[in-house]
Amino acid sequence: MSGTGNLWKNFGTMSPSSLKFFSYSCSDEIVKRLQQLVPSGSHIVDYGGGAGLMTGALPDAEFRVSFVDHSPDSITEVVHKYQDRPGFLDAYHVDDSNTLEPPADAVLMLELIEHLYDEPLSLAFQQVEEMLGPSGKLFITTPNDEDLDKKQIYCPQCDFIRHRWQHVRRWDADSLRKFLQEKNFDVASIYAVHMLENLKNVGTLRFLINVFKRFVNNLISSKPANLVAVATKKR
């Protein structure tokens, strides 16, 4: 298995809707938390940015943003959508991320690390460490203490039982803290929060909003909280 060429092999079968939902629904909350970590004008890298929805939200908050992903199609789409937007710097394939300039003030890894096996996970954190400036912040979200067995489904196309969203590992605060320390990061904070509790209103009719909020409340009651970690690389 080659290096970064296989970094994202799990993502190839993920549905676009599952990738988009978190970033779209929680982008305002993510931006709010970033604003508490780094000043306006900071360079943010959306690592594993998928459809680029967070990449689109960050310039509106007066951040400069670079996009990094494995998918040439995603990179092309993001460049097409945002190339003329003030604050958007560039888009990179993961294999070319070592050319990223300037160094990142913060790197986002949103709902990503639960999808990666050992080797690609290590490669991802090696890349992130190289991207970050001396005092840069790493911001991670992942499901908290997820019961992977409860989300198994049968895939008739591949005749295989797999996790509904292709999650391959479970994280809790202790395991994530230990992993980050092993990967040369100092952990500033790790905490659990339901990001969906602050789901943004996108202007839908009030009736539909209320119906959807009831659905979200039911989802929250059964879905693990998001685990959020903030770290800096060791000096």
The pLDDT tens digits for 17-43 are 444 556 667 888 899 999 999 999 999
Average pLDDT over residues 88-110: 94
Task: Report residue 193's pLDDT band, with 50, 70 and 90 as the boundaries.
Answer: confident
Distance CA(185)–CA(138), nearest Å, equals 9
Peptide bond into 39 cis (omega under 30): no
* Count of other CB atoms within 10 angstroms of residue 10: 18
pLDDT of residue 97 exceeding 70: yes
Average pLDDT of the chain to the nearest whole number: 81
- Record the tokens describing residue 153, joined without a space: 């489904």
How is domain 4-233 classified at the architecture level of CATH? 3-Layer(aba) Sandwich (3.40)
* Count of other CB atoms within 10 angstroms of residue 116: 23
Q: Which tens digits make up the pLDDT trace of 107-126? A: 999 989 988 899 999 999 99
Name the residue with higher pLDDT: 148 or 100. Answer: 100
pLDDT of residue 2 exceeding 50: no
Report the pLDDT value the prediction gives residue 170, as an integer from 0 to 100: 82
